[in-house]
Structure 1
Amino acid sequence: MRRVMICMLVVILCSGFRSPELNEEVTIIVEIEESVDDFVNHIQSRIPRLEVVAQYNTIFNGAAIKGTVGELEKLARLDTVVQQYPVKTYRTMINDAPSFSTDMLRQRYDLPFTGKGVKVGVIDTGIDYTHPDLAGAYRGGFDMVDFDEDPMETQGEGETMHGTHVAGVIAANGKMKGIAPEAELYAYRALGPGGVGSSVQVIAAIEEAVEDGVDVINLSLGNDVNGPDWPTSHAVNKAIELGTTVVVAAGNSGPQPWTVGSPATSTNAITVGASSMEGEVPLLTIPGERKQVPVTVLLGSLPWELNKKYPIMMAGKGLDELDHARGKIALFERGEISFTEKAIKAYQAGAAAVIIYNNEEGIFQGALEEKLPIPVASVSKEDGEWLKSEAVEAQQWVNTIHQSTDEGIALFSSRGPVTTSWEVKPDLVAPGVNIFSTVPGGYQPLQGTSMAAPHVAGVVALMLEAHPDWTPEEVKASLLSSADVMPVQKHMYDPTEQGSGLVDISESIHPELVIESGALEFGRVKDEFFRKQLPIKVKNTTNEQMEIHFERPATESGVSWRLPSTISLAPGESKEERVELQLSKAFIKDGVHQGYVKLESGGETYHLPYLYLKEDASYEKITGFELNQNPDREKSISYRFHLTEKVEKVTVDLYRAGTMLFQGQLVEIDQPEPGLVEGKITKPSFDMDGPYIAVVNVTISNEKESYTFPVHFSE
């Protein structure tokens, strides 16, 4: 040990280290084997000139001791001292000039606009309007949680940072520069402690923002209702009808299809998915194994910057206390307790990092409710079980490597299409992975479509500064027409993954060709021989003649396209043509069919998304189920859910959670219409206090599909 320490000292001296004098006071941390209290009592009686600065007995067994170098040297002679460490100065893990995605985009596009004079409403968890980068932009707002005019982020228990992060991406103007640094920010706190709120609060916030005359609303929130007929979606559509442009995050339930939720399912909203910028992603490797496991850092966690090999230990679901976790990576299974509770248990047990693997297929993205000094990440169920087998059970240590990545679609980004309307969503994508932005007290990286949406809301502010007379429809058409489709390997991402592509700021502000009609959405194919025409409306915004040529999509069996040969447009002229799709149902496969119709003009290529689906496509028929006891004298119960299509019958059965004892049938509806289904029933006579499972049965063509939803009643 002494030989190693001498070698280290030589390296330090060669690096310019200054050795302290014997009578100079310094502070060191010592790691000890015995009881900390006994050790402290011993040195206080034997070496009284030393000062005990701090004692550690939870995550580290030792103490911080202050004294002269000569006196501290006496500690080295004590047998109970395992190791001693110099005290270092620690700073937050952010560079003096962190790399903000907004800076990178502004530099890439050399933007002449700043969003000056444009009002942007942020409907979220509130805003820390005292943050030095946001104070100058903040103009006011309202709190729908506490019903006052102070939309500050939740502080203390259940504290939040989400809205402040979103606001920074839009309009920070200080150390960080947002996309539109001179825009005016209005905050509407619709989500309270823990970032949770109701449809009532969100709708009230939308109404308040419209009444305040904001030009743009950002909604980085949503639910799992994959259908357009939901109150929040209707509220968004009404706001747009009244002249407010609304930008909505698509959701973080990808990469599965049919996962975009309300209000991102709104037909007229600008729905934004998340892309990743060029950078690095952490991967876990095991010596001798070719597999590499990508880790997704949870929102609110430190970056995954482990720089050496670590052993992994199984921690189950976190219900039991952790033993022998010091210096290891704790591998948890998702479920039973929150991500934060798992992480705190691991941290208190001395773990170096936490990995939580999914309890169902695919990946997931979570968030921490508290800040911890160790990284916390998620992996898929498959990868978690592989780590359990090949690392834990095989007693292998894992290493972290970092792989360079190109721009792409984030795995967590929710995918379309939308049931009932069969529309392409998201509309476009923007950066949403590891986005540095403002948070109360500083800056922090977060990721999600919540971070992608404000990039686009900021772009909309720039567009409205340049074109104050543009309507929400014109803003959306310009954004989608100018977006750049993103390739993946040898093909492009599908429209239900990226919509029209990655936002292009410069071309959004000054488009040459605007496709005003939007995506070609042909809907469901039910007839044996399907034929449908859709309008395609284009506008030349330049001062020169424009010729538009169409490229037919790749030939498929049973599919025939009729496209305009050429469209000639004079300067400033708009024209409408028809696109026809003919299908022979017997020759096309089940499911969603999608791609792009290419338009070429003046050497530029434009990609217009199209989508149709055969009626046997697989998606959930029931989403957003709610069952609530009403506070009325009749003691009634309200139900509400979204039905994706016309069915023969819907029934709702109630079972006791745990025992699954059948309690009775609550609802039976014959021939319900698709869309929002709601009603009221008389409360059953039995005691309903406690947790239940509602089983919603759907009968289609004499076949039954069942969906389960947890519910809880309080007497």
Structure 2
Amino acid sequence: MAHLRSRRRRALAVPVGLALTASLGLLPSAATASPQVAAASAAAAQDGPKLSYVVNTATDPGTVGQVKKAIAKAGGTVVTAHAKIGVIVVHSANPDFAKTIRTVKGVQSAGATRTAPLEAAATTDVGKPEKVSEPRSKNALSAAKATGKEPLEPLQWDIPAIKADQAAKVNPGSKKVTVAVIDTGVDDTHPDLAPNFSAKQSANCVGGVPDTTKGAWRPYNPDEDYHGTHVAGEIAAARNNVGVAGVAPGVKVSAIKVSQPETSLFYAESVVCAFVFAADHGVEVTNNSYFVDPWMFNCKNDPDQAAILDAVGRAAKYAQKKGAINVASAGNSNFDLAAKELTDASSPNDTTPAERKVDPAACLDVPTQLPGVVTVSATGPLNLKSYYSNYGLNQIDVAGPGGDKYQVPEAPAKDGRILSTMPDGDYAYLQGTSMAGPHVAGVAALLKSKRADATPQEIQWLLKAQADNPGCPTAPYDPDGDGKVNAECAGTKHINSFYGFGIVDALDAVKK
């Protein structure tokens, strides 16, 4: 699962590894307004804080039109309507808005997408990663060019770990394939990203309505909203004798910004907008290194959370139907997603979190656990599950390099985390499943480059079939060496709770 899923994958939740020396912490019938709606008064509609809502309906024009009328009577204002998937984004200060609108014929679910008022703004202390300098001397650049590597590539243990360096020599990826980074924005002026950036497939979706003004997709604050730029470089940093190399250095990358200014929260209306925008603009792969705020898990028995599940699920499904394969990170809480019960102490993360017990069978990490989404766990330099990575039998599809400060790579690499691009032309190390997802998205883009007609389902099957599974560890899983077992791996050599079907293989993607 921004900021790096710390979990806030932060994705986020808050970026997991934030400094070069820091640790993880980084349907269809015409709708009519019900008597309850008709009775809603203008005064009642303004009694509470203004919140954002998703109202999910049948998709026929008659129903959508009638529900819009009911929304107005209940004290709501329509921000946008995604009629093709039946999702309407609404603002309302009526504390009874959701309860009232759920009684309207044609409304299938409705709920608040946040617990904080629309006007609220809270700063998030995510820290500042230590930057990595690119070699600038002629000797260093000549040496890198002579070996066919980018100047900083020797520090990227993750590229050879999935044979992406070998794959680039066979097929670096097609310019006809675009990976959309749904995240905190991307600095498209970075010299490693500019050659592969697709502005026409980029937008700012914060609030639910896409803004395609030039540069609207860039980070609000480069010092804090660097997550998306790091992710983009992992996917498609160009092989141009500058900086680092991406997994698929020949494909296009676009940015769809969904993080709120100042808080970096990813609300449902923004994510719905992103999936729909990506689908309607011909994106082949979406990367989702975040969970939808403010709930780490959205439970079906809660009407607000159920509405979020419904809305984002419809949007993700729409993107899949339009040909996009959606890749998402599994999260950084070392949770067994197949357990009978989990403790979520971080939700809601936009007001005051309260500890709650959740049933993973009924409470889903969104979009990670939505049907059809490729769920990715993280590994380190030793091909061992990263200490923070969520896992779970039949919950993880595949794994990818996400970094691990406890796993030491072979020289000349020096750091077990992932080195990639940062705003303003910089580079830095981060770790998290937020970093694992982009590696898988890059391999998916290579598969799509080789097999242009492949469906999202076929790409997902190929990712699994070509993955290399290290199997469950033979020794107790104790990555931090404190003598305590941190997780139990279940399953077989072919499919297990740590790696799903295995660690993705970029070389197989372009050769087989």
Give per-residue Cα distances to partners, 1:456-476, cap 9 Å, x unaligned. 111111111111111111101
| Aligned with 2:297 (options 209, 222, 225) | 225
* Alpha-carbon contact 2:167-2:510 (below 8 Å) kept: no
One-letter amino acid matched to 1:159: E
SS at match of 1:233: helix
State which structure, 1 or 2, has the greater radius of gyration over its C-alpha atoms. Answer: 1
* 2:371 match: 267
**Deviation of the 1:197 alpha carbon:** 2.0
Q: Deviations over 1:537-571 (max 9, x none)?
A: xxxxxxxxxxxxxxxxxxxxxxxxxxxxxxxxxxx
The amino acid of 1:206's aligned partner reads F
TM superposition shift of 1:127 = 0.3
Distance in 1 of aligned mates of 2:298 and 2:498: 15
Query: What is the CA distance between 1:110 and its match in structure 2?
Result: 5.9
Separation of aligned partners in 2, 1:460 and 1:160: 25
SS at structure 1 position matched to 2:170: coil
Distance 2:204 2:180 in 1: 13
1:163 corresponds to which letter in structure 2?
G
Q: Deviations over 1:599-636 (max 9, x none)?
A: xxxxxxxxxxxxxxxxxxxxxxxxxxxxxxxxxxxxxx
**Which one of the candidate residues 113, 131, 135 is aligned to 2:171?**
113
1:473-513 deviation digits (Å, cap 9, x = unpaired): 110111111211123442776423211111122223444xx
In structure 1, the residue matched to 2:252 is 184
1:377-411: per-residue Cα shift (whole Å, max 9, x none)?
Answer: xxxxxxxxxxxxxxxxxxxxxxxxxxxxx220012
Give the counterpart letter for 1:142 in structure 2: A
CA change 1:101–1:201 in 2 (3 A) is farther
Partner of 2:444: 460
The Cα offsets for residues 291-332 of structure 1, whole Å up to 9 and x where unpaired, read as xxxxxxxxxxxxxxxxxxxxxxxxxxxxxxxxxxxxxxxxxx
For residues 439 and 366 of structure 2, the distance between their equivalents in structure 1, rounded to whole angstroms, comes to: 20
Asked whether the equivalents of residues 227 and 261 of structure 1 are also in contact (C-alpha less than 8 Å), the reply is: no
Taking the aligned partners of 2:159 and 2:269, their CA distance within structure 1 comes to 36
Match of 2:506 in 1: 505
- Structure 2 contact 132–427 (Cα < 8 Å) conserved: no
Q: 1:233 to 1:412 in 2, by over 3 A?
A: farther
Q: Which residue of 1 aligns with 2:392?
A: 416
Distance 1:480 1:458, change over 3 A: same
8 A contact 1:428–1:499 mirrored in 2: yes
Q: Which residue of 1 aligns with 2:225?
A: 160
Match of 1:245 in 2: 325
Give, in whole Å, the separation in 2 of the partners of 1:107 and 1:129.
Answer: 23
State the alpha-carbon separation in 2 of the partners of residues 410 and 484 from structure 1.
16
User: Identity across aligned pairs (percent)?
Assistant: 31
Query: Per the alignment, do residues 510 and 145 of structure 1 end up closer, same or farther by CA in structure 2, a change over 3 Å counting?
Result: same
Moved more, 176-185 or 230-239: 230-239
Question: Is the contact made by 2:467 and 2:505 (CA closer than 8 Å) also made in structure 1?
Answer: yes
Contact 1:233 1:265 in 2 (8 A): no
2:156 matches 1:100: yes
Inter-CA distance 256–416: structure 2 relative to 1 (3 Å threshold): closer
Judge conservation of contact 2:378–2:432 (CA < 8 Å) in 1. yes
Match of 2:211 in 1: 148
Amino acid at match of 2:440: V
Matches within 5 A, 1:392-471: 406-416=382-392, 424-433=394-403, 434-441=417-424, 442-471=426-455
The aligned amino acid for 1:151 is: W
Paired with 2:438 and 2:375, the residues of 1 have a C-alpha distance of: 11
| Bigger relative CO (Cα 8 Å, ≥ 6 apart) | 2
Whole-angstrom distance in 2 between the partners of 1:439 and 1:192: 19
Given that 1:111 and 1:506 are in contact with CA atoms closer than 8 Å, whether structure 2 keeps it comes out as: no
Q: TM-score when scaled to structure 2?
A: 0.52
- Equivalent of residue 273 in structure 2, options 204, 210, 213: 204
Residue 195 of structure 1: how far off its partner (Å): 2.5
Partner Cα distance (1:271, 1:509) in 2? 22
Rounded Cα–Cα distance in structure 2 between residues aligned with 1:493 and 1:502? 16
The separation in 1 between residues aligned to 2:256 and 2:497, in whole angstroms, is: 30
- Tell me the CA shift for residue 93 of structure 1: 4.7
Deviates more, 1:501-510 or 1:158-167: 501-510
**Residue of structure 1 equivalent to 2:184:** 125
In structure 2, C-alpha distance between the alignment counterparts of 1:437 and 1:265, rounded to whole Å: 27
For the residue of structure 2 that corresponds to 1:487, the secondary structure is coil
What amino acid sits opposite 1:190 in the alignment? V
CA distance in 2, matches of 1:164, 1:437: 8
Contact 1:170 1:181 (C-alpha < 8 Å) held by counterparts = yes
Determine the structure 2 residue equivalent to 1:254. Answer: 334
Change (3 A) 1:503 1:227: farther
- CA deviation string 1:141-160 (max 9, x = no partner): 1111275321011127x831
> Where does structure 2 lack aligned partners over 5 or more consecutive residues?
1-129, 136-150, 301-305, 343-363, 404-416, 476-488
Cα–Cα, structure 1 residues 198 and 92, in superposed 2: closer, same or farther, change >3 Å? Answer: closer
2: CA distance, partners of 1:493 / 1:416? 8
CA contact (8 A) 1:429 1:499 kept: yes
Matched residues in 1 for 2:224 and 2:206: separation? Answer: 14
The 8 Å contact of residues 102 and 169 in structure 1, kept in 2 or not, is answered as no
Matches within 5 A, 1:223-622: 223=292, 224-225=296-297, 230=309, 231-258=311-338, 261-277=365-381, 406-416=382-392, 424-433=394-403, 434-441=417-424, 442-490=426-474, 494=491, 495-511=496-512
SS at match of 2:497: helix
Q: SS state of the match for residue 481, structure 1?
A: helix
Give 1:138's aligned residue: 197
Count of aligned pairs between the two proteins:
286
CA shift, 1:232, in A, is 2.1
CA–CA distance in structure 2, aligned partners of residues 132 and 168 of structure 1: 10
Residue deviations 1:669-707 (CA, integer Å, cap 9, x gap): xxxxxxxxxxxxxxxxxxxxxxxxxxxxxxxxxxxxxxx
Report the CA distance shift for 1:233/1:184 in structure 2 as closer, same or farther (over 3 A).
same
Q: Indicate the SS of the match to 1:498.
A: coil
Structure 2: distance between partners of 1:428 and 1:510: 19
Deviation per residue, 1:494-538 (Å, 9 max, x gap): 423211111122223444xxxxxxxxxxxxxxxxxxxxxxxxxxx
Output the amino acid matched with 2:236: A
Cα offset, 1:186, TM superposition: 1.5
> Structure 1's 416 and 256: CA in aligned 2 closer, same or farther, altered over 3 A?
closer
Q: Write the distance in 1 (CA, Å) between the matches of 2:236 and 2:329.
A: 17
SS at match of 2:420: strand
Cα 1:242–1:466 shift into 2, 3 Å: same
Q: 1:198 to 1:431 in 2, by over 3 A?
A: same
